[in-house]
Amino acid sequence: MGRMGLLACVIVSVSTACTEPDLDHEGGPDEPAEIVVSAVEGARLCAGTQTWVDDELRRVRAETGLLPVARLPVTLGAGAVEERCTVPDDPETVVGCTLGEGGATAVISTPEALSHELVHALRRHQELRTRTMFEEGFAEAIDGSDAYPRYVELEPGELPEARWPEALVQQSKAEFRSVQSYRVAVHFVDHLRRVHGAEAVAAFMRGGIDGTAAEAETRFERHFGTSLEAEAQAWRASGAQGFGRGDPCAGGVVAIESGVTVELVVRVDCDDPETMGLEGAAEAAWIRRCVSLGAGRRAVQMGMGAGPGLGAVRWEAVPQTCAEGSSELDAAPKVVEAGDAGTLEFAACTWAVTFESTADGPQELSLTLGPG
């Protein structure tokens, strides 16, 4: 690990691996190492992310009821994921991974997948293991924050039998791996949390090691007092559901009227407490703003301080905020690269607008929106 990596360490409890004197130590100098979060080589965590990481570690430990017993290293950065998370199928969608187990467990992740991977890692660290459906559903149900919100809509009554929890619990990791299966798993675990309480679900997850689906089903029935099949049937009968965690617009929403030109300006500065993400090694630092827009076509022009190719603005409609009857295309995510100008068709929604910089050092990004 280079000097940049050392400086980027975030200490939660005490580590002997990060010895920079100005770091935030919570425990005494002789306590064992716990979770040590560092940026990928050549990058550093921005100030907002440092605070966010501390919050997420606390939250994940509380919600899983698990503490690491030995040092658990976490490396953050898209570059590290690309290099070290090797999944044979669909490498495009991999945002993080947990490697090894027991005292050798390590997490490699983008910030957006950190909380999900931490759930896996704390479990692997203690060599806890159940069926993939529960592992992934539990990790997904704990994931999601204002910085990296999650929202998954599902109509369980319309699922084919092959995607029912009774079927998914039989599946190996390789068989399970599909977007739809993750959705089912998170909704089913969320249902269990609502019916039986989050602590009861966490206790079930800590409560044993299931080598087979039959073992998991037996333990499920003993723990929850109802069979997996009966619980899954109750869940399907409960109607359409939206599972969501985190509010991308917790910082407020600015209404932009039709007919006016607006310029949004942000300064993405890794040392600023509002700036999230990472700086250096082509990682992205970012700031988010939320605006509500009427439907229509608007000219969009982006300016930046550092030069072309070193920034982008991502537009994402906040779930459940678009006007009734909005076109799916107009509500779809949009990206404007630094230096781009053009016109975009917007649905009437609240939009989370993320200003991203890949420059080394602070950069001012501006976005001019023509009259709608």
Residue in 109, 96, 105 with CA at minimum distance from that of residue 127: 105
Q: How far is residue 256 CA from its own chain's centroid?
A: 28
What does the per-residue mask of binding to Zn ion show for 62-91, with x meaning CB under 5 A?
------------------------------
Q: Taking a C-beta distance cutoff of 8 angstroms, is the pair 146, 112 a contact?
A: no
Distance CA 341, CA 260 (A): 18
Q: Taking a C-beta distance cutoff of 8 angstroms, is the pair 99, 105 a contact?
A: yes
What does the per-residue mask of binding to Zn ion show for 268-287, with x meaning CB under 5 A?
--------------------
Q: Taking a C-beta distance cutoff of 8 angstroms, is the pair 37, 53 a contact?
A: yes
Q: How far is the CB of 81 from Zn ion (least distance, A)?
A: 13
Q: How far is the CB of 247 from Zn ion (least distance, A)?
A: 23
Closer by beta carbon to Zn ion, 50 or else 109: 109
Q: Taking a C-beta distance cutoff of 8 angstroms, is the pair 147, 246 a contact?
A: yes
Closer by beta carbon to Zn ion, 117 or else 283: 117
Closer by beta carbon to Zn ion, 84 or else 222: 84
Work out whether the CA dihedral 93, 94, 96, 98 comes out positive or negative.
Answer: positive
Residue with tokens 């249902």: 191
Closer by beta carbon to Zn ion, 61 or else 120: 120
Q: How far is the CB of 76 from Zn ion (least distance, A)?
A: 16
Size of the site for Zn ion (CB under 5 A): 2
Q: How far is the CB of 139 from Zn ion (least distance, A)?
A: 5
Residue 256, both tokens = 């932009």
- Bridge-partner residues for 263, per DSSP? 368
What does the per-residue mask of binding to Zn ion show for 138-177, with x meaning CB under 5 A?
-x--------------------------------------
Helices 198-206 & 213-224, crossing angle to 10 degrees?
Answer: 140
Q: How far is the CB of 96 from Zn ion (least distance, A)?
A: 8
Closer by beta carbon to Zn ion, 173 or else 222: 173
Q: How far is the CB of 163 from Zn ion (least distance, A)?
A: 18
Site for Zn ion in 299-358 (CB under 5 A): none
Count H helices, E strands: the chain? 12, 18
Closer by beta carbon to Zn ion, 112 or else 136: 136
Closer by beta carbon to Zn ion, 136 or else 356: 136
Q: How far is the CB of 9 from Zn ion (least distance, A)?
A: 25
Site for Zn ion in 98-137 (CB under 5 A): 136
Residue type, 69: V
Q: How far is the CB of 120 from Zn ion (least distance, A)?
A: 5
Closer by beta carbon to Zn ion, 116 or else 193: 116
Residue 212, both tokens = 């087979």
DSSP secondary structure code for residue 65 in this structure: T
DSSP 280-298: STT--EEEEEEEEE-SEEE
Q: Which residues bind Zn ion (CB under 5 A)?
A: 136, 139
